[in-house]
Structure 1
Amino acid sequence: MPTLVADKKTKIFAEFGGKETNTGSIEAQIALLTERIAHISKHLQQNKKDFSSNRGLLQLVGERKSLLTYLSKHNLQGYRELIEKLGLRK
């Protein structure tokens, strides 16, 4: 399982960051947080009383929100492309 996670991370960084080694780009960080949020949300659907995971989920959502706010202020076109690619806004 850890190799699948590492493979998935490198795939996300390659798709959103430009290269596999570009782990610091805002787009790649947001995409990685979105993947983690989806994974924890799926876990919480089965384990409704897992409150520590729920708190972690809320922290990740807040962190993603702040990164999206930063991106929208500094690169509006990139922000719009990213939310469309990730399907965040309806």
Structure 2
Amino acid sequence: MYLNKEKKQEIFGQYGKGGATDTGSPESQIALFSYRIKHLTEHLKKNHKDHSTARSLTKLVGKRRALLNYLYDRDIERYRAIVKALGLRR
């Protein structure tokens, strides 16, 4: 399994505002979605006919985009910080 409890805690600890227990902040959710998107992208490079995974990837990208838009509207500095930290294009 590519995403176990320890990996999630590491992501939340690095990007969350309240440490490893902060699982609900937009920054931590965006970081988790970005990790999952990267994994699914690599999978689809090898398995390009896996349509269910392609659909899941599209849904995840949409969820991340919605959270980024939310953060952009609420606090532009936090938005800029997470985009820079994750290296997202925008």
TM-score (norm 1): 0.93
What SS does structure 2 have at the residue aligned with 1:24?
coil
Q: Does 1:14 align with 2:13?
A: yes
Is there any run of 5+ residues in structure 1 with no aligned partner, and where? none
Match of residue 86 from structure 1: 86
Match of residue 74 from structure 2: 74
The runs of at least 4 aligned residues of structure 1 exceeding 6 Å deviation read: none
What SS does structure 2 have at the residue aligned with 1:12?
helix
Q: Deviations over 1:7-44 (max 9, x none)?
A: 11100100111311110011000000000000000000
If asked which structure has higher relative contact order (CA below 8 Å, sep 6+), I would say 2
Counterparts of 1:5-84 in structure 2, within 5 Å, are 5-18=4-17, 19-84=19-84
The separation in 2 between residues aligned to 1:24 and 1:62, in whole angstroms, is 18
Deviation at 1:5, TM superposition (A): 2.0
State how many pairs are aligned: 89
The separation in 2 between residues aligned to 1:26 and 1:15, in whole angstroms, is 13
Is there any run of 5+ residues in structure 2 with no aligned partner, and where? none
RMSD: 1.4
